[in-house]
Structure formats: structure tokens, C-alpha cells
Amino acid sequence: MSFLYPQFLFGLAALAIPVIIHLFNFRKTRRIYYSGTQFLRQVKEASTSKLKLKHWLILASRLLFIFFLVIAFAQPYIPARQKGLKNTEVYIYLDNSYSMSGLVGTDYRALDAGISFVNELSGLFPAGTRFKLFTNDFASFSNVYKSGVELSDLTTEVHVSGNIRGFEEVLSRIKTGMQASASSGEIFWISDFQKSTFGPYDPEKQDTLHRINIVPLELEPSANLFVDSIFLKNPFIPGNEKIELTVIIKNTGYEEVNDVPIKIFLNDIQTSNATLDVPAAARVEQHFDLWFYL
């Protein structure tokens, strides 16, 4: 157990005051017995043991009162087994690529969730902690340390960007900032971890000198059904003959889509139609027979 204000423990010396009062009672009385009150002596001697017990209980209550009063001012606490966040420098990478426009909740983008985490993170470290915020833009503010308040103000300037940065490129940028200050602080990596940017994670190839705190943002499943490609079996169109048209429908969502209608129009006239069932994360081919009259 530790104390937030251990200097108040000196107040425990006040415990000696009730003890001194109890032991050195300077009030002395002289006993005088009268003939008419001699029979009361036996009753008084019988109640002496109860009186002493009462005095001891009063002494104990006074000591406990002073003890708990001092402890309350000293504010004891039990330290955690793991040490708290004591780094004076923190490096934060906030992915602001287009994929972070995806939703992690109802009308709540992944980028907004990442910004909220950055604002909360600034309050978890001591007041003297310095922060560096990195985004895909590699803006000039990532070269300057910010305080917790300045970091919260800086997040209002972060928007979705078309720049794409790989894992090694961002990590190299962070390491450059560490070498400039000759320090190695905490690294927080906030992203949706798309394979196109973060890439496959290989622990054997990662730098063990720097600890990276991964903060994944899980996007809501989205259904995206689209026409992947359309092509003719025969690139040459013969006159007055049947040709085959192939349409490929792709589903990148996490759920199967059933009864998808497909219609083929030639010169604003419907010539063919079909209904498809497209499994999740799959593609389906549909063939149509068309007639061209020349």
C-alpha cells in the first residue's frame, strides 16, 4: 500500500495524546467513609470492573478516530501490478485513407472513432507528455511535438485523404522523429488495417525495439453488388445470327444476395432478362443469347 500524501502520517503522533490523558489522570480524590454509607462500599467495588472496561473502550475509540482521520488525509492506495503510462513522448498514427470513411456504427465513421480515441488518449498520460500525430498526408504538424490540449485541437484538422501510405513507410517516418529526439516512446497505430495499406502482419519481420499499440477499428459489414465485366464470346458480330453475351456480377459483401434481376436492353428495347443468386464474396456469370439484324 502507498500513500498519495505520506506527510500526513506524521499526524499519527497525536495518538499519544489520549494515552497520556488516560495514564496521567491528575484528578485525585480523598475517600471519606461515613457510618451511614458503609453499605454502599460493596456496591461500588462490584461496579469497578465495568467502569474500567468503559474507560478502555473510550480510549480505543479516541485512538481509532485519530488514526482513521490521519489515514484519510494521507489517501492510501494500492499500486497496480503493471506500471502506468509514464512515457514523456507518444507517437500516434491515425489512418485517414478513404477506407476510413466506412461506418463503425450508425452514421459514425471509422475516422471519427479514431479521432475520439486520440482525444481520450491525450488525457491518459501525465500533463508533461509530448505528442506527435501522423496521418497519410505527412503534414508539417507531424514534425512538431504537441501538448495534450494542442493535440485535441489538431484533430479537428484531420480529414479523409486520397494519400495511401504503407506500414513500412509510416513506421520509418515515426522512427525518424524518434531519432531526432533520441528517445523511444509509445507508438499507437489507429487504422482499419486494410491489406492494401497495412499488408499482411508478420511478427518475425517486425522491429522488436519499438512497441506498437494496435488500435483496430472494425467496420460494419457492407453489401456491394456490381457488374464486374461484360464481354462477347465472339468479338465479331455476324449479321442475322445469334451471339452470346456474358455478364459477371460480383458480390463483395458478407451476405448472400438473392433474386437479383438483370435486364438487357438494345436500343432502349429489352431483349433478355434473368434472376441471379450471388453468394457472399463471390462472382456469378450469366450468359445471354442476343440476335443482331443487319
Kindly state whether residue 102 falls inside one of the protein's structural domains: yes
pTM of the model: 0.52
Q: Which residues contact 247 (CB under 8 A, 6 or more apart)?
A: 227, 229, 230, 262, 285, 286, 287, 288
**Domain span holding position 118:** 89-216
Same domain membership, residue 235 and residue 131: no
Name the nearest CA neighbour of 193 among 214, 162, 211: 214
Selected residue with higher pLDDT from 82 and 146: 146
Kindly state whether residue 182 falls inside one of the protein's structural domains: yes
Alpha carbons 276 and 263: distance in angstroms, whole number: 11
Alpha carbons 195 and 190: distance in angstroms, whole number: 14
Q: Give rounded-to-5 percent helix, strand, coil for the chain.
A: 35, 30, 35
Average pLDDT over residues 106-132: 88
Same domain membership, residue 155 and residue 120: yes
Same domain membership, residue 59 and residue 15: yes
Same domain membership, residue 105 and residue 175: yes
Last residue of a domain, one of 50, 77, 104: 77
- Percentage of residues in the chain with pLDDT exceeding 90? 19
Last residue of a domain, one of 77, 100, 122: 77
Torsion, Cα of 264, 265, 269, 274 (10° steps): 10
Same domain membership, residue 28 and residue 97: no
Kindly state whether residue 34 falls inside one of the protein's structural domains: yes
Contact 190, 155 (CB under 8 A): no
Quote the number of domains for the chain. Answer: 3
Kindly state whether residue 84 falls inside one of the protein's structural domains: no
Q: What is the mean pLDDT of the chain?
A: 80
Looking at residue 166, what is its pLDDT? 86
Average pLDDT over residues 28-42: 57
pLDDT tens-place string over residues 50-71: 767 777 888 888 889 888 888 8
pLDDT tens-place string over residues 218-264: 887 766 788 999 998 877 766 677 888 899 999 987 788 889 899 98
Q: Which three cell numbers stand for residue 85?
A: 503510462
Alpha carbons 178 and 184: distance in angstroms, whole number: 6
Q: Please give the span between the terminal C-alpha atoms of the chain, in angstroms, as a whole number.
A: 95
Same domain membership, residue 229 and residue 212: no
Most confident of 7-11, 64-68, 80-84: 64-68
Looking at residue 178, what is its pLDDT? 81
Q: Which residues contact 162 (CB under 8 A, 6 or more apart)?
A: 97, 98
Q: Which three cell numbers stand for residue 95?
A: 489512418
Same domain membership, residue 234 and residue 177: no
Kindly state whether residue 82 falls inside one of the protein's structural domains: no
Same domain membership, residue 120 and residue 198: yes
Is the pLDDT assigned to residue 294 strictly greater than 60? no
Contact 167, 97 (CB under 8 A): no
155 pLDDT band, cuts 50/70/90, is: very high
Is the pLDDT assigned to residue 200 strictly greater than 70? no
Looking at residue 49, what is its pLDDT? 67
Same domain membership, residue 121 and residue 236: no
Same domain membership, residue 148 and residue 96: yes
Looking at residue 70, what is its pLDDT? 87
Looking at residue 81, what is its pLDDT? 60
Name the nearest CA neighbour of 243 among 254, 251, 233: 233
Looking at residue 116, what is its pLDDT? 93
Last residue of a domain, one of 77, 106, 132: 77
Same domain membership, residue 195 and residue 94: yes
Same domain membership, residue 210 and residue 175: yes
